[in-house]
């Protein structure tokens, strides 16, 4: 697993030990960031089910200025910390061990807003529609924010078409479904 492009291009990242996470492949990462960016002129990213942090780190490497990484598993939190230290991104990031809903509430209390929301949870364990509703209700997304959802390819992500525009929906290799939305 490595950073695909930007300032940290080619740098290796550590994976979370065990089988509890499912790293996004380099091929998929390249394809999705080409569609979402491919580079950013500043902004902030919330990587909500961060795992190793590779997607949020990719966004930082490609120009995002600040990132928050959230996961509920201690091994993931440890791995994210190692990867951020390895790339010297500690001063531009925060890492929290928390459930997704609590993390959304905490960012809202701090009045933080994001330009990119990354949702890559364990398949079949999360209500994407609820997270999208909460992100709107709590007002944590900037205008035109991008929301990246990685999911089981058999799953369809329901979303409010008044609030979001579908940018891309695709399957990769029959094992990964992606949905990219933009806040209206």
pLDDT at 31: 87
**Least confident piece of the model among 95-99, 116-120, 174-178:** 174-178
DSSP-derived 3-state class of residue 110: coil
**Residue 183 belongs to what H/E stretch?**
strand 176-183
CATH architecture assignment, domain 26-183: 3-Layer(aba) Sandwich (3.40)
Mean pLDDT computed over 135-143: 97
d(CA 77, CA 53): 9
CB-based burial label for 116 (10 Å; 0-12, 13-18, 19+) = buried
What does the longest C-alpha to C-alpha distance in the chain come to?
41
Distance CA 93, CA 112 (A): 13
Q: Average per-residue pLDDT in the chain?
A: 93
Going by pLDDT thresholds of 50, 70 and 90, the confidence category of residue 20 is low
With cut-offs at 50, 70 and 90, classify the pLDDT of residue 27.
confident
22 C-beta neighbours (distance < 10 Å), count: 15
Q: What percent of the chain has pLDDT over 90?
A: 80
Handedness of CA 69, 177, 115, 106 (dihedral sign): negative
| Pairing of the two strands 176-183 and 141-151 | antiparallel
For the segment 6-23, the average pLDDT, to the nearest whole number, is 87
Rounded Cα gap, residues 117 and 128, in angstroms: 12
pLDDT reading at 28 higher than 90: no
Burial environment of residue 34 by CB neighbours within 10 A (0 to 12, 13 to 18, 19 or more): exposed
Q: What is the pLDDT of residue 172?
A: 85
Q: Across residues 18-43, what is the average pLDDT?
A: 84
Residue closest to 133 by CA, chosen among 111, 160, 171: 160
Tell me how far apart the alpha carbons of residues 165 and 19 are, in angstroms, rounded to a whole number.
Answer: 34
pTM over 0.85: yes
Distance of alpha carbon 92 from alpha carbon 152, whole angstroms: 31
């Amino acid at each position: 697993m490595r950073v695909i492009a930007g300032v940290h291009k080619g740098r290796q990242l550590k994976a979370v030990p065990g089988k509890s996470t499912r790293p996004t492949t380099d091929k998929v990462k390249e394809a999705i960031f080409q569609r979402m960016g491919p580079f950013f002129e500043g902004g902030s990213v919330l990587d909500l089910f961060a795992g190793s942090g590779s997607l949020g780190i990719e966004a930082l490497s490609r120009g995002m200025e600040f990132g928050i990484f959230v996961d509920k598993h201690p091994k993931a939190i440890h791995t994210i910390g190692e990867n951020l230290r390895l790339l010297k991104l500690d001063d531009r990031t925060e890492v929290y061990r928390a459930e997704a809903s609590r993390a959304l509430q905490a960012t809202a209390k701090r009045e933080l807003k994001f330009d990119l929301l990354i949702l890559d949870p364990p398949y079949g364990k999360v209500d994407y529609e609820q997270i999208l509703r909460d992100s709107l209700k709590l007002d944590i997304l900037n205008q035109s924010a991008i929301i990246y959802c990685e999911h089981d390819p058999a799953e369809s992500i329901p979303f409010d078409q008044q609030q979001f525009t579908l940018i891309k929906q695709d399957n990769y290799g029959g094992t990964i479904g992606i949905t990219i939305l933009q806040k209206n």
